[in-house]
Structure formats: structure tokens, C-alpha cells
Structure 1
Amino acid sequence: MFFVAGAKNTGGSGRGNERRSLYQKFREVDILDKKKTVTALKPGEDRAILLGLGMILSSVMMYFVLGITILRSYADSVWTEEGVCVVVNSTVTADMNCSYNCGSDCWRVAKYPCLQVYVSINNTSRVSRLSRNEETQDASSECFYVPKCQKDSMVMQAMIMNISERLKVSQQVLCYYDPGEQQDSVLLTRLYGHSAVLHSLFWPSCMLTGGTFLIVMVKLTQYLSILCEEIGKVKR
């Protein structure tokens, strides 16, 4: 009887050891799979963080470039108030000279008519000269529009006369003037207005938001992974 009982006990302990060994094997496989998953996720997370940092750095550089170009021109502009300009006079005064490129080290002179437009701002007695935009104002202090110089002067003349006729027909146009009256001239359009500034800041802002969101999501994923591991240890 003793031998039989001993045999039975030995068989039970053997099966218990087998169960423990099987459990340890499954446990080791589970731990190995988790390590493989963590090892596989680690490079992906690093690349995602580097991508986010690259996007943020690129957006900062774009902000810097925009700050010294468009934003600076927008801040320095004195034509800040929008009003209604009534065309008082629109005449061609003289022919202006311009030069165009005709080849390597070759420049020739052409002529275009100088259109002068005077307007009354907001139906007041203040009469000012109208320019198309800031570039025209810098290029010529007298002419409303400076066309791109080309060989055929008739094309430039037809363009200027077409603009003159349109101004005579419309009579009233929206314009931008200097409320401090430091500038006598007014502008028909602004190169660096509110819409231009918003459009220029759109893509850098999107890139900055995307890079920040990417880094936050990776960090959140890492935090949740650590939290799950800690909860699993507490349960065990």
C-alpha cells in the first residue's frame, strides 16, 4: 500500500511539475513577445518624435522668414485704412522709358504711357494720387501702373488705356490710405494686407500644430503602455 500511495503521490507531483513548466514556458513566450513588441515600437516612436521635431523646426524657420519679409512689410505699411475713392481725373501725361532684356548682355529701351489718376477719399476735399500697389509706388511716384517692359510698345499702351477706361467707368473704387497723412498717395490694392498675412501663416501654423500633435500622441502612447504594465504587475 505504501508503494502504491507513493507511486500515486509521485505521479501527482510530476503532473504538477509539468503544469508549472508549461506555465513558465507560456509565461516566457508571453514576456518574449512583449519584449519584441516593445523593441519593434521603440524605433517607430523615435522616428515619429524626430519627424515631429523636424516639423516644428521647419515651421519656426518659416515663421522667421515670413517675419523678416511679409510681416515686416505689413507692419511698416502706412496704408492701413480702407475707404472709398472717387476718381477725379485720369489722364495720360507722358511716355516713360523702360528697358527690356533682348539677350545675353543686351538691353533695349521701350516706352509706355504714364497714367496719372487722382481720387477724392471718402467724398472729402482731400485729393490724392492713386497707385496700384506698394511696388508701383516704389517704382514710380507719378504713374498709376508700371507694366512689365517689353519690345512691343503698342501692347503696353493698349494695356494702360484699358485700365484708364475701366477707372473712368467705375468712378468709385475701394482704396487704402494713410490716416496720419504722411503719404499723399493712396493704393488700389495692398500686397501685404490682412488676407496675405493670414494665407502666409496658414501652412507654418499647420506644420507646427501637426508636429506638436505627433509628439504628444507618441508620449501619450508611451505613458499608457507604462500604465498598463504597472496595472498588470499589481494584478499578478
Structure 2
Amino acid sequence: MFLWARGKATDGRSDRRSIYQKIREYEVLDRRKTVTALRAGEDRAILLGLSMVFLSVMMYFVLGITIVRSYSDSAWTEEANCTIINSSIVWHVNCSYSCGTECWKSSRYPCLQVYVSLNSSGKVTRLVHNEETQDNNPECFYVPKCRKDYTTTHAIVQNISERLSSQHTIQCFVDPTNRMDTAILTQIYGQVAVFHSLFWPTCCLIGGTVIIAMVKLTQYLSIMSEQLRSIRK
């Protein structure tokens, strides 16, 4: 009778122990699943951060050799007020347009010359559209695309001439060192374009760095928590 009762008690303890072991196994399994999911999420976050950092570096490189370099190489950096003195078509310039693969035909476009007076110094100078126009043909204010139909090109240039003539004072850009004897109407890349070309890559770089730092901080805190838990046990 005593042996039977003792065996029954032993079986009860073994059953409770087996139930406890199963619960522990489930807890360990759930913890492993949670740790695996957290590690996968951390890996994705680090990959996202590294991608953002790499993208920002590429943006710095591309925009730096295009927008920032073009702005820094431009001689027309000082803004001034210009008074229109004369705007007229003086002659025609020969050009060529594409008519197919390795096919070029000749045409022409009217050369519009615009002279302005700088209100700050009273100096009379020639006005061109932008830096690209200065490089292509500094004698003309605007260099249109060469077309087969000369009438259309002439109408475009004539419309520009009439708009300039209707304005008395305009904003222009001049060379503060007086190395260039012309003024330009607009900059290809101004200060706003330079600001955006540096602002958005910087935001992307900071965002990627913050993501990586937060993941590393989370991993460090997790390790410290596990160490404290093991010490308490």
C-alpha cells in the first residue's frame, strides 16, 4: 500500500515535471522565434541604413560634378539691376539640323542682340540668356534650336525680343571681377539649385546613419539585458 502510494506520488511529480519542461520548451521556442524575427528586422534596418548612406554618397558625387561645379565655375555670381537699352535682330547665323542617321542639312536662325545698362555703375554691356549661350555664341542673346522651318525660329526670337523691349528694368547677373564684358539673364544652376543638391543628400545621409546607430544601440541594450538576467539567475 505504501509502495503504491509512493509510486503514485512519484508519478505525479514526474507528470508535473514533464508539464513544466514542456512549458519551458515552449517558452524557449517562442523566445528563439522572437530573437530570429528581431535579428531579421535588424538586418533589414541595417541594410536600409547602408543603402541610404551609399545613395547619399552617390548623390553627392553626381550632383557635385554637375550642379555644384557648374555654379562654382560660373563667373556671373553678382545680382544686379539692368535697364534695357536696345533689343533687335541684327543678322542671321548659319546652323545645321539632323535629318536622319548621319544626315545634316543647313539652316539659319536670327541673332538677337540685347544691350543693357547696369544701374549700379551705368556701364553698358551686352546681355545673353545664360552661361551656355555665352559658350555657344556670345554675340547673340539667345541661341534657339536649329530648325528646318526658319519662319518658326524667327517668330520665337521675335517674341523674345518684344518681351524684353516691353520691360524697362530686369534682374541680371554680372561678373564682380569685371573679367567678362557681358551680363546674363538667368543662371543655369542658381543658389536654390545648389541648396537642394546639398540638402537632400545630407538628409539621406543623416537618416541612414541614425537608423544604423539605433539598431546598434538596440543590440547593445539587448546584450546588456541578457547579461543582467543571467547574473540575477
TM-score by length of 2: 0.88
What is the CA–CA distance in structure 2 between the aligned matches of 1:192 and 1:99, rounded to whole Å? 28
Superposed CA deviations along residues 86-144 of structure 1, whole A, max 9, x for unmatched, are: 11121211111111111122111111111111111125321111111111111111100
| Cross-structure match for 2:101 | 104
State the aligned residue count: 233
SS of aligned partner of 2:61: helix
What is the CA–CA distance in structure 2 between the aligned matches of 1:25 and 1:139, rounded to whole Å? 83
Unaligned runs of 5+ in 1: none
1:153 to 150, 155, 165: 150
* Counterpart residue type for residue 165 of structure 1: E
What is the CA–CA distance in structure 1 between the aligned matches of 2:196 and 2:156, rounded to whole Å? 29
| Cross-structure match for 1:114 | 111
Unaligned runs of 5+ in 2: none
2:82 to 80, 85, 110: 85
User: What is the deviation of 1:34?
Assistant: 1.1
| Cross-structure match for 1:40 | 37
- Contact in 1 for aligned 2:63/2:197 (Cα 8 Å): yes
| Cross-structure match for 2:186 | 189
What is the CA–CA distance in structure 1 between the aligned matches of 2:30 and 2:231, rounded to whole Å? 20
* Counterpart residue type for residue 77 of structure 1: S
RMSD of aligned residue pairs (Cα, Å): 2.3
SS of aligned partner of 1:120: strand
1:68 aligns with 2:65: yes
The 5 A counterparts of 1:144-183 are 144-183=141-180
* Counterpart residue type for residue 70 of structure 1: I
For structure 1, which segment, 224-233 or 160-169, has the greater mean C-alpha deviation from structure 2 after superposition? 224-233
SS of aligned partner of 2:192: helix
- Aligned-pair identity (%): 55
* Counterpart residue type for residue 23 of structure 2: F
- Contact in 1 for aligned 2:80/2:120 (Cα 8 Å): no
What is the CA–CA distance in structure 1 between the aligned matches of 2:224 and 2:40, rounded to whole Å? 20
What is the CA–CA distance in structure 2 between the aligned matches of 1:54 and 1:88, rounded to whole Å? 54
TM-score by length of 1: 0.87
SS of aligned partner of 1:69: helix
Over 3 Å counting, the alpha-carbon distance change for 1:88 and 1:123 in structure 2 is: farther
What is the CA–CA distance in structure 1 between the aligned matches of 2:37 and 2:165, rounded to whole Å? 72
User: What is the deviation of 1:8?
Assistant: 6.3
What is the CA–CA distance in structure 1 between the aligned matches of 2:67 and 2:86, rounded to whole Å? 33
What is the CA–CA distance in structure 2 between the aligned matches of 1:235 and 1:25, rounded to whole Å? 23
